[in-house]
C-alpha cells in the first residue's frame, strides 16, 4: 500500500483532494449523499494503490547489441530478452529502455499476460550521426492502473555499450612510394662497392643497443657501425591526426576537427585494406600499433587537446623509410620544426591541410594553396575546405606522388649516364 500511495499521479492526488473536500463539505452542510460521493472518490485511488502495490515482478533483461561497432549514420539493432521469475499477473506493464538522446527516442513496449517463467524477445533499432561511446539501459518498467491514478516506476539493472565510429569515405587507390619498411630497419639499399660484410652493417643511430655494435667494421670505417637485423619486410603506415584545439575552427559536426577525424578514419581503412600495418598518432605523440578496428574505436572517442605544438617523440625506427599521412589543421611557423623532423624520418610524407578559416566563416584571401610551412619542407600536400571531397583530394595526392616518382626516375637515369 505504501508503494502504491508513493506512485500517486496528479490525477490521483486530485481525486483524493476532491474526495476529502466533498466529505468535509457534506459534514458541514449535513448532506449524506455528498458524503457517499466523497467516500467513493477517495476510495478509488486507495483501492488502485492497494492493487498496484501488490503486483510483484521479478523481471530480468539480457541486452545484446548488433553490431557493437557501427559507423555514424548506420543503424544498430538492440535485442532485449525479458524473463519473469516472480508471480504471474494479468495486468499490463509499459517497458521503456533508456537510450542517450543522440541515439533517438526511447523505445517503449506494452507487455501483457505475464506468467511465471514468462519469456519475451523484443528488438528495436538505434542510429546516431554523432560518434562516441554510448551506454544503452537500464530498463524502466512502468506499472499503472486503468484510470491513470497510480503509476509505479521500477528499474531493471543492466547496460550495454555501443561504439559509433566516424563516417568513412571510400578512397581511390593511388601510387604511394616509400611505404615498405622492416620492423626496426629501413629497406636496405644496394652498395656500388664493398664486401658482403659491409652490406650487413649500418651506421650507429641513437637508441641502438651496444650489443649490436660491429667493432671490426667500426675500426675500419672510423665510426660506430651496428649489425642489421634481417627481418621480414612489411608495409607500414602512420596516420597523424592534428587534434590540437588551437588548430581547428567551428563547432559540432560542422567543425574542421570532425572533418579531420573523418579523413583520418577513411585513411586508416584505406591503407589497412591495401596491406599496410597502420597506426594512428595524435598531436600529443600518443599512439600505438593497433588493428584497424581498434583505431576506429579510438577515433570514436578522440577529442581536441590543449597541445601547443606537434610532438615528434613517436618518430624513429617505426617511421624511418615508411609512409606518413598527416591530417593537419591550422599551422603556425613553429610547427615547421616538427614537420621537418617527421619528413626527415619518413620515406614518403603526404599531408591533407585543412583551410580552417573557411570553417570559421572567413573566406581565404586569394587562391587557396598548400601551406608554405608544409610544401616547403618536402611534403606532398593538398588543401581542403568544408565543401571539398576527400576522395578527390586523395587522388590529387596520388598525382603528386606519381610526378615525384617520375622525377626521381629521370634523375637516377641521368646519374647512371
Same domain, 217 and 355: no
- Beta carbons of 356 and 247 less than 8 angstroms apart: yes
Q: Which three cell numbers stand for residue 291?
A: 588493428
Residues 30 and 8 in one domain: yes
In this structure, the answer to whether residues 201 and 258 fall within a common structural domain is no
In a domain, 170, yes or no: no
Query: What is the bridge-based pairing of β-strands 348-354 and 380-384?
Result: parallel
Report the DSSP beta bridge partners of residue 28. none
In a domain, 33, yes or no: yes
| Domain identity same for 370 and 239 | yes
DSSP string, 118-153: EEEEEEEEEE-SS-EEEEE--EEEEEE-TTSSBEEE
Question: What is the distance between the alpha carbons of residues 50 and 298, in angstroms, rounded to a whole number?
Answer: 52
**Helix (H/G/I), strand (E/B), else coil: 19:** helix
3-class secondary-structure state, position 391:
helix
Would 121 be classed as within a structural domain?
yes
Task: Note the pTM of the prediction, 2 decimals.
Answer: 0.73
Structural domain contains residue 292: yes
Question: Which pLDDT score is estimated for 207?
Answer: 64
DSSP assignment, residue 208?
Answer: -
202 belongs to a structural domain: yes
Contact 73, 167 (CB under 8 A): yes
Cβ pair 35, 26 in contact under 8 A = yes
* Rg of the Cα atoms in the chain: 34
Tell me, what's the pLDDT at 407? Answer: 47
Whether 80 and 154 share a structural domain: yes
Are 250 and 353 within one domain? Answer: yes
> Residue 171 domain-assigned?
no
Where do we find the cell 588493428? 291
Q: What is the pLDDT along the chain (417 residues), one digit of tens a residue?
A: 677 777 888 998 999 999 999 999 998 888 888 999 999 999 998 988 888 777 766 788 999 999 989 999 999 999 999 888 766 665 678 889 999 999 988 999 888 777 777 888 999 999 999 999 999 989 998 888 888 888 888 888 889 999 999 999 999 988 765 444 444 343 333 333 333 344 467 777 766 777 778 888 888 888 888 876 544 445 788 999 999 999 999 998 999 999 999 999 999 999 988 888 889 999 998 887 678 888 999 999 999 999 888 998 888 766 676 899 999 999 888 888 999 999 888 888 999 999 999 998 765 444 444 444 577 788 999 999 999 999 999 998 887 665 554 444 444 334 444
Query: Distance between CA atoms of 344 and 347, rounded to whole angstroms?
Result: 8
The C-alpha angle with vertex 189 and arms to 322 and 343, in degrees rounded to 5, equals 30
* Of 320, 373, 327, residue with least CA distance to 350: 327
> Given the C-alpha cell 519475451, which residue does it identify?
120
Query: What pairs with residue 63 in β-bridges?
Result: 80
| Helix extents (H) in 222-312 | 256-273, 292-299
| Parent domain of 111 | 59-165
Identify whether residues 399 and 266 lie together within a single domain. Answer: yes
Regarding whether 263 and 210 lie in a shared domain, the answer is no
Kind and range of the H or E element at 375? helix 372-375
Tally of domains within the chain: 4
Residue 62 to residue 293: CA distance in whole angstroms: 25
Q: Do 128 and 80 have their domain in common?
A: yes
pLDDT of residue 187: 39
Instruction: Say yes or no: 125 and 184 in one domain.
Output: no
CATH number where 136 lies: 2.60.40.10
Cα(368)–Cα(403) distance, integer angstroms? 21
> pLDDT tens across 406-416, in order?
444 444 334 44
CA within 13 Å, CB half, 319 = 24
| 219 within 8 A of 226, measured Cβ to Cβ | no
Residues 13 and 83 in one domain: no
Residues 6+ apart with CB under 8 A from 288: 279
Which residues, including other chains, have CB under 8 Å from residue 127's CB and lie 6 or more apart? 73, 74, 75, 76, 103, 104
Q: Is residue 173 part of a domain?
A: no
| 393 and 295 in a common domain | yes
The span from the CA of 263 to the CA of 261, in Å, is: 5
Whether 211 maps to a domain, the answer reads yes
Residue 405 sits in a domain whose CATH number is: 3.40.50
Amino acid at each position: 500500500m505504501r508503494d502504491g500511495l508513493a506512485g500517486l499521479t496528479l490525477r490521483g492526488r486530485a481525486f483524493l483532494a476532491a474526495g476529502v473536500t466533498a466529505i468535509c463539505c457534506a459534514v458541514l452542510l449535513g448532506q449524506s449523499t455528498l458524503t457517499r460521493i466523497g467516500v467513493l472518490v477517495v476510495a478509488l485511488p486507495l483501492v488502485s494503490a492497494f492493487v498496484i502495490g501488490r503486483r510483484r515482478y521479478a523481471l530480468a533483461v539480457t541486452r545484446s547489441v548488433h553490431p557493437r561497432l557501427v559507423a555514424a549514420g548506420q543503424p544498430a539493432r538492440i535485442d532485449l530478452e525479458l524473463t519473469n521469475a516472480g508471480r504471474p499477473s494479468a495486468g499490463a506493464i509499459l517497458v521503456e529502455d533508456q537510450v542517450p538522446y543522440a541515439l533517438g527516442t526511447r523505445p517503449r513496449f506494452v507487455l501483457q499476460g505475464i506468467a511465471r517463467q514468462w519469456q519475451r524477445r523484443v528488438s528495436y533499432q538505434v542510429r546516431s550521426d554523432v560518434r562516441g561511446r554510448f551506454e544503452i539501459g537500464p530498463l524502466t518498467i512502468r506499472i499503472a492502473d486503468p484510470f491513470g491514478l497510480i503509476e509505479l516506476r521500477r528499474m531493471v539493472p543492466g547496460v550495454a555499450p555501443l561504439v559509433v565510429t566516424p563516417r568513412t569515405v571510400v578512397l581511390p587507390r593511388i601510387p604511394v612510394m616509400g611505404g615498405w619498411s622492416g620492423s626496426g630497419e629501413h629497406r636496405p639499399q644496394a652498395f656500388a662497392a664493398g664486401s658482403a660484410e659491409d652490406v650487413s652493417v649500418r651506421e650507429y643511430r641513437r637508441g641502438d643497443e651496444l650489443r649490436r655494435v660491429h667493432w671490426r667494421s667500426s675500426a675500419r670505417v672510423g665510426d660506430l657501425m651496428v649489425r642489421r637485423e634481417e627481418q621480414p619486410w612489411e608495409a607500414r603506415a602512420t596516420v597523424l591526426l592534428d587534434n590540437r584545439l588551437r588548430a581547428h575552427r567551428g563547432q559540432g559536426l560542422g567543425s574542421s576537427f570532425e572533418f579531420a577525424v573523418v579523413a583520418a578514419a577513411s585513411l586508416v581503412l584505406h591503407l589497412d585494406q591495401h596491406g599496410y600495418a597502420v597506426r594512428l598518432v595524435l598531436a600529443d605523440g600518443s599512439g600505438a600499433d593497433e588493428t584497424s578496428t581498434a583505431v576506429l574505436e579510438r577515433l570514436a572517442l578522440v577529442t581536441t587537446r590543449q597541445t601547443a605544438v606537434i610532438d615528434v617523440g613517436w618518430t624513429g625506427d617505426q617511421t624511418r623509410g615508411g609512409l606518413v599521412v598527416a591530417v593537419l589543421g591550422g599551422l603556425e611557423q613553429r610547427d615547421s620544426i616538427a614537420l621537418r623532423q617527421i619528413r626527415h624520418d619518413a620515406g614518403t610524407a603526404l599531408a591533407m591541410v585543412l583551410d580552417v578559416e573557411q570553417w570559421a566563416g572567413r573566406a581565404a584571401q586569394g587562391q587557396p594553396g598548400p601551406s608554405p610551412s608544409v610544401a616547403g619542407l618536402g611534403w606532398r600536400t593538398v588543401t581542403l575546405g568544408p565543401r571539398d571531397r576527400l576522395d578527390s583530394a586523395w587522388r590529387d595526392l596520388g598525382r603528386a606522388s606519381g610526378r615525384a616518382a617520375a622525377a626521381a626516375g629521370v634523375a637516377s637515369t641521368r646519374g647512371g649516364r
